[in-house]
Structure 1
Amino acid sequence: MKLYTLKAIADHFNTFTFISRARRIEDNTIEITFDKQSSYFFNMTRGHSFVYKAPSQRPLQGYNAPFDILLHSLLSGSRLLNVEVPNDDRILRFTIAPKSSYKDKIIYLQLEFTGKNTNAILIDENEVIIEALRHIDANSSFRIIRPGMELLSIPPYKRNEEKKEIPNIDTYLEEKYTEIQSKKLQEMKKQKLSVTAKKSQKLSHLLSKLPNEEDLEKEEQKYKSYANLILANLYQIKPYDTKLNTYDFEGKEISIKLPKNIKVNRLSDYFFNLAKRAKSKARNIHIEKENLESKKSFYDNIYYALKQAKEPYELELLVPKRGKSQRKKEKLKEGELFWIEDYKVMVGRNSNENQKLLSLAKSNDIWMHTREIPGSHVIIRTDKQNLPDTVIEAAAKLCVDFSTDQPGDYLVDYTKRKFVKIQEGSNVEYDKYQTISVRKDGIEIRE
C-alpha cells in the first residue's frame, strides 16, 4: 500500500462517527461498515494486501475463531474516535470506543500492510495484544503476535515513492474493487473451465473406449465356440495345459488359450459365462452410451455457462470449492449436488438421474424444470422452510444452464414435489406451480 493511499483512506474514515459492523467475509478479508451505509474491505493477504469499497457481501462461510468473535463484539456498534497512519508507516490504526465497555475504554484495530507479515491486530490501551488474525511466534519474527504479549513497534521503513493526489478516495476504492473483481473472475474462470473440461474429456475418452454392439456379438459367438470346442475335446486336455490346439467345426486349425487356476471340467463354463457377459453387454451398451453422452452434455453445458459468467458468485455456484465442513463434502450417487445459501440443491444429468431425484425428494421439497424443453430436473431440499427468492432464482439459472447450451429467454416452472405426478420414466405432470423467467446470455442475444 502506498503512503498517500493510506493517508487518503485514513482522512476519509475520520469523516465517519461509528462502526456498524465488523466481520471476516473471506479467509483474509475483513469487512467494516461505517455509519450503517458504507462498507469497506481490507484484504490482508500476505504480500498482496489492499483496500476496496463495494456493497456489503455475504461471508463465504461462518468464521468463529477467537479473532472473529472479538472483532464482532468489540467493533460492532462502537464509536470511531480516530483513524491514523502512525509514523507514516504501512499501518492503518483505528482508535475505537467499544459499545460494550462499562466505562471510558478504548481499543485499537491495527491493520499492518507489511508484506509477508501482513496482519490485523486488536490491541488494548496498554499496547497489549487482545487477539490477531495471524499469530506469529519467535521462530518467524522478533515481533511475537500472541494474546497477552506487548505489541512491539515495526522497524522504520524507508519509502521511495512519488506522492499522488487522489481526488475522490471512494471512487478510487470502487475502481480498485472493479479491477480486483475482473482479475479474480478471469483467474477463477480459467481454473474452473480447466476442471470442467477435464471431466468432459474423461467422458469422451470413456465413450471412445466403448465397444460397439457388432463387436460384442462377435465376441459372444467366439466364446460360445470356444466352450463347445472344449466340451468336444475335454478328454485330451491335461490339468497342466495352457492351450488347446484343435480344429473348429469347419475343419480349420485353432488354438484356444486356457485360463489359469480353472479346473478342466469347468473350462467350458468359464467360456460360456464370458459369452453371456458379452451378450448382456451388447444388449445394454446403448444404455451405457446414452448415460455417458448425457453426462458429457451436462458438463459441456457447465463449460458454456462458465464462459458466460460475469460474477465470481456465478462461477462458484457452477463449480463450487470443496466444502470444509463434513456436510458440504456430501456427494450424490446420482446427479450433481450444489449448495445455495446453505440450501441443498440436486440436479439430474439424465433421465435415470431425474427419476432417482424424484424418488429421493420429500413432499415439501421444491421441484423445478424448464418449460417445453427436455432437460435437468432440479430438487431443492427445503426442510419445510420458505425459500428466499435468491435461492429460487439461482436454482432456476442452474436448471436452464444444465438443460441447454442455447442462449435465449426461458421459463422455469417450480412447485412442491407433492404436486408432481410421475407419468413414465422422468416424464411428469404437475400443478399449483409458479414460473420464473431466466435469460441465458450468449452472442446470439440482441437487445
Structure 2
Amino acid sequence: MKLFELKAIANHLNDFTFISRARRVEDNTIELVFDKKESYFFTMTRGHSFIYKAPSQRPIQSYNAPFDTLLHSLLAASRILSVEVPGNDRILRIKVAPKSSYKDKVIVFQLEFTGKNTNAILLDENEIIIEALRHIDAQSSFRVIRPGMELLALPPFERKEERGELNDVDAFLEEQYTHIQAKKLRELKKQKLTATQKKIDKLKQLLDKLPSETELEREAGKFANYANLILANLYQIKPYDKKLETYDFEGHQVTIPFPKNIKINRISDYYFNLSKRSRNKAKNIHIEKSNLESKKTFYENIHYALEQATTPYELELLVPKRAKSLRKKEKLKEGELFWIEDYKVLVGRNSNENQKLLQLAKANDVWMHVRDIPSSHVIIRTDKQNLPDSVLQAAAKLCVDFSVKNPGDYAVDYTKRKFVKVQEGSNVLYNKYNTIHVTKEGVEIRV
C-alpha cells in the first residue's frame, strides 16, 4: 500500500463520527463499520496488506480470541477522535473514545502496513499495548508486541517520495474489492474443486474395481470346489506341502495353494469360509454399489454447486476448510459435517446415512428434506435454540444442492425431529412443518 493512498484514506475516514462495529471476518481481515452504514476492510496479511470497501460481510467463522473480544468492546460504538498517518511510515492510527468509558479514556487502534511486520494493535493513551492481532517476542524482534508492553517506535526509514493523487477514495477502495474478490474467488474455487474432484475420482475407482455378482458367484463356486477336493485328498497331503496338485471331479488338472500358518486339517474350512464370504458379498454387492454411486452423486452435486458459487462464503459453506478436523472430533461415521454460523449441520449422502442421521438426531434438532423427491436428509443441531433464518436458508440450499442436479424451484420442508416418524429405512412421515423455497439455477445458485 502506498503512503499517499494511506494518507488520502485517513483524511476520508476523518469525515465519520463513530465506529459502530469492529470485528474480524477472516483470519487476517478486520471489518470496521463507520456511522452504521459504511464498511471498510483492513487485510493485515504479512507482505500483502491492503484496504478495501465493500458491503458488510458475514464472518466465515467465529473469532473469539482475546484480541477479538477487546476489538469489539473497545471500538464498537466508539466516538472517533482522529484518524491520521504519523510521520513517514505506512501506519494508520485511529484514535477513539470507547462507549463504555465513564472517564475521558482514549484508545488507539494502530494498523501497520509495514511488510513482514504488518500488524493490528490496540493501545491505551500511554502507548501501552492492550492486545494485538499478532504477538511478537524478543527472539523474533527488538520490538516486542505483547499486552502490557510499551509499543516502541519503528526504526527510522528513508522512503522515496511517493507522488500521486487520490480524488475519490471510495471508488478506489471499491475497485480494490472487486479485483481482490475476483482473484480470491478464482483461487479458492480452484482449490475446492480440486479437492472435491479427488473424492469423485476415488469413488469412481472403487466402483470400477467392484466385482460383479456373476464374478463373485463364480469365485464362491471355485473356493467350494477347492475345499471339497482338499477333503477328498486329505489322506495324501503331507504336513509340509505348500499346495495340492490333483484332478477335479470332471477330470481337469487343478493346483490349489495352501495358506500359511493354517493346519492341513483346517485348510478345507478356510476355503469353505472364502466361498461363503464371496456368496454373501454377491448377494449384497448391489447395496455396496448403490452406496458408492450415491456418494459419488453427492460429491458431483457439490462440484456443480462450487462451479456456480459467486462468493467465498458460498465456497466455504460447501467445502469448509475445518471440516476434516471437526469431523474427527465429532467421530461422525455417517454423513457429511458442515458448519453454518457455528451451528452443526449433518447431511446424509445416501439412504443408509439418512437412516443413521435420523437415529442420531435429538428431539429438538431440525430435520430437512426436499419435498416429493428422494433427497439428502439434513439435521441441524439446535441445543433447543431458535435458529436464525439465515441458517435455515443456507441449510435448505445445501439440501437442494446435494440432492438434485437439475435447475428449478424446489420446496424444502423442515420440522423438529420429534415430529418425524420413520416408516421403513429412511422413508418418513412428518407433520407440523414449515417450507422454504429454493431456486437452483443453471448459471448461478442463489444463497
Change (3 A) 1:304 1:131: same
Residue of structure 1 in register with 2:71 after alignment? 71
Distance 2:63 2:263 in 1: 64
* Number of matched pairs: 445
Q: Which amino acid aligns with 1:82?
A: S
Instruction: Say which SS state the counterpart of residue 182 (structure 1) adopts.
Output: helix
Distance 1:178 1:344 in 2: 32
Distance 1:122 1:37 in 2: 23
Is 1:224 the equivalent of 2:208? no
Structure 2: unaligned runs, 5 residues or longer:
none
Is 1:180 the equivalent of 2:177? no
Change (3 A) 1:62 1:342: closer
Superposition pairs of residues 106-255 of structure 1, within 5 angstroms: 106-160=106-160, 163-255=163-255
Change (3 A) 1:341 1:106: closer
Residue of structure 2 in register with 1:377 after alignment? 377
Residue of structure 2 in register with 1:305 after alignment? 305
Residue of structure 1 in register with 2:352 after alignment? 352
Is 1:10 the equivalent of 2:6? no
Distance 2:350 2:33 in 1: 46
Maintained 8 Å contact 1:2/1:161: no
Distance 1:124 1:421 in 2: 59
Distance 1:354 1:66 in 2: 40
Bigger CA drift: 329-338 or 234-243? Answer: 329-338
Q: Which amino acid aligns with 1:396?
A: A
Q: Which amino acid aligns with 1:312?
A: P
Maintained 8 Å contact 1:322/1:329: no
Distance 2:73 2:435 in 1: 43
C-alpha displacement of 1:416: 2.6
Distance 2:327 2:285 in 1: 36
C-alpha displacement of 1:211: 1.0
Distance 1:66 1:350 in 2: 42
C-alpha displacement of 1:331: 4.2
Residue of structure 1 in register with 2:25 after alignment? 25
| Deviation sequence 1:207-251 (CA, Å, 0-9, x none) | 111111111111111111111111111111111110111121122
Distance 1:345 1:163 in 2: 52
Residue of structure 1 in register with 2:256 after alignment? 256
| Deviation sequence 1:81-140 (CA, Å, 0-9, x none) | 111111132111122233344543433221110000001122333333333222223333
C-alpha displacement of 1:375: 1.8
Distance 1:443 1:301 in 2: 14
C-alpha displacement of 1:367: 2.0
Q: Which amino acid aligns with 1:250?
A: E
Residue of structure 2 in register with 1:99 after alignment? 99
Maintained 8 Å contact 1:396/1:436: yes
Change (3 A) 1:354 1:365: same
Residue of structure 1 in register with 2:321 after alignment? 321
Q: Which amino acid aligns with 1:268?
A: S
Distance 1:46 1:410 in 2: 45
Distance 1:85 1:129 in 2: 19
Bigger CA drift: 105-114 or 264-273? Answer: 105-114
Instruction: Say which SS state the counterpart of residue 409 (structure 1) adopts.
Output: strand
Distance 1:63 1:380 in 2: 21
Structure 2 length-normalised TM: 0.93
Instruction: Say which SS state the counterpart of residue 87 (structure 2) adopts.
Output: helix
Instruction: Say which SS state the counterpart of residue 86 (structure 1) adopts.
Output: coil
Residue of structure 1 in register with 2:422 after alignment? 422
Residue of structure 1 in register with 2:440 after alignment? 440
Distance 1:444 1:192 in 2: 17
Maintained 8 Å contact 1:411/1:438: yes
Q: Which amino acid aligns with 1:219?
A: E
Residue of structure 2 in register with 1:343 after alignment? 343
Instruction: Say which SS state the counterpart of residue 411 (structure 2) adopts.
Output: strand
Maintained 8 Å contact 1:349/1:376: yes
Q: Which amino acid aligns with 2:372?
A: E
Residue of structure 2 in register with 1:89 after alignment? 89
Bigger CA drift: 276-285 or 85-94? Answer: 85-94
Distance 1:307 1:165 in 2: 39
Change (3 A) 1:271 1:139: same
Change (3 A) 1:122 1:360: closer
Distance 2:107 2:411 in 1: 54
Maintained 8 Å contact 1:83/1:94: yes
C-alpha RMSD of matched pairs (Å)? 2.3
Instruction: Say which SS state the counterpart of residue 49 (structure 1) adopts.
Output: strand
Change (3 A) 1:122 1:392: closer
Distance 2:74 2:372 in 1: 55
Q: Which amino acid aligns with 2:170?
A: D
Bigger CA drift: 28-37 or 193-202? Answer: 28-37
Distance 2:414 2:122 in 1: 49
